[in-house]
């Protein structure tokens, strides 16, 4: 059955775009993770739709990733199919004051496109290390802005392979969440509503936020960005620091001294090392402050 499944997948996408036992360490910003059973790289929406329809019809588990910037995959890998959109779904189009980006387009590239066209509103997202699809899924945000502020609509592929559109209201954005997290759909593109601005002012704001990131975040180490959601009424990084966990290590993973809200891969960590740090931090903060930290990072696979 597995060989038939593999052979059929290969008929749905361009030759060479289906692999078996692909190491996920090559596709996550944590630089860790064991093999995915199947790794699929559709090159257009037709292939994506057909792959999704087939996987659902066959009852097979799958996940869709961009550049893997908010993802921790276990050392023993993922027992399912991974669909990569990062390399092929990165087209960005401008129409007046709207920008439409395919799901695999980097937020930094979208921000630069907005800058080039003197469109303001996207500056906060310029340094978020993610893609359009993942950002709308989790309502990514930074420096007082979030996707809910600028997303006009998202086009998704439903389980039967058909395309469906979700308006901003239908996306039901909340803190680091959207309705897409509980809908069995795949984001194919996102449209943003921006406004006209002064190019120099936009550039200055992007430069200012980039400088803040460099000074306050451990960008020199592999990580998944901010590891924990912000608990209501608190800041995760301060709670972790006040719990005495600054620099706390397990194997090659540790809490960053530069920003305690980041768990980093500082010395050839395993996924289990990172998971142990996350669990230990969660337990210690709960014990000290009776505050339950929740990972912002998506955790999948076998550890």
Please state, in angstroms and as integers, the Cα–Cα distance from residue 227 to each residue in 38, 237, 279, 300, following that order.
Answer: 27, 9, 11, 15
Catalytic residue (choose from 25, 189, 226, 256): 226
User: What radius of gyration, in Å, describes the C-alpha atoms of the chain?
Assistant: 20
Q: Is 125 in contact with 214 (CB distance < 8 Å)? A: no
Q: Check if 176 is active-site.
A: yes
- Looking at the DSSP assignment, which residues form a beta bridge with residue 99? 94, 192
Q: What is d(CA 156, CA 159) in angstroms, rounded to the nearest whole number?
A: 10
Q: Is 213 in contact with 219 (CB distance < 8 Å)? A: yes
Q: Check if 296 is active-site.
A: yes
Q: Is 132 in contact with 189 (CB distance < 8 Å)? A: yes
Catalytic residue (choose from 176, 178, 188, 223): 176
Question: Residue 76 has which token pair?
Answer: 């023993």
Q: Check if 249 is active-site.
A: no
Catalytic residues: 176, 226, 296
């Amino acid at each position: 059955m597995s060989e038939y499944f593999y052979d059929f997948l290969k008929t749905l996408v361009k030759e060479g775009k289906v692999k078996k036992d692909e190491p996920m360490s090559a596709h996550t910003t944590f630089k860790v993770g064991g093999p995915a059973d199947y790794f699929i790289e559709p090159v257009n929406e037709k292939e994506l739709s057909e792959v999704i329809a087939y996987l659902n019809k066959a009852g097979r588990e799958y996940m869709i990733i961009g550049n893997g910037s908010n993802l921790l995959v276990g050392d023993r890998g993922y027992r399912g199919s991974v669909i990569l959109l990062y390399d092929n779904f990165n087209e960005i189009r401008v129409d007046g004051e709207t920008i439409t980006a395919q799901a695999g387009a980097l937020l930094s590239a979208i921000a630069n496109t907005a800058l080039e066209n003197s469109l303001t509103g996207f500056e906060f997202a310029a340094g978020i290390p993610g893609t359009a699809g993942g950002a709308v899924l989790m309502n990514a945000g930074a420096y007082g802005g979030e996707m809910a502020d600028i997303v006009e609509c998202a086009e998704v592929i439903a389980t039967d392979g058909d395309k469906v559109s979700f308006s901003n209201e239908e996306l039901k954005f909340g803190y680091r969440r959207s309705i897409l997290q509980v809908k069995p759909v795949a984001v194919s593109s996102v449209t943003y509503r921006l406004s006209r601005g002064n190019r120099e002012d936009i550039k200055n704001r992007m430069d200012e936020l980039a400088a803040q990131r460099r000074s306050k975040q451990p960008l020199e180490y592999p990580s998944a960005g901010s590891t924990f959601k912000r608990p209501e009424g608190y800041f995760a990084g301060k709670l972790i620091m006040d719990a005495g966990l600054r620099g706390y290590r397990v194997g090659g993973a540790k809490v960053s001294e530069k920003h305690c809200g980041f768990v980093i891969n500082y010395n050839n960590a395993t996924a289990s090392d990172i998971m142990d740090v996350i669990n230990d931090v969660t337990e210690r903060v709960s014990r000290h402050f009776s505050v339950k930290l929740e990972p912002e990072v998506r955790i999948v696979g076998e550890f």
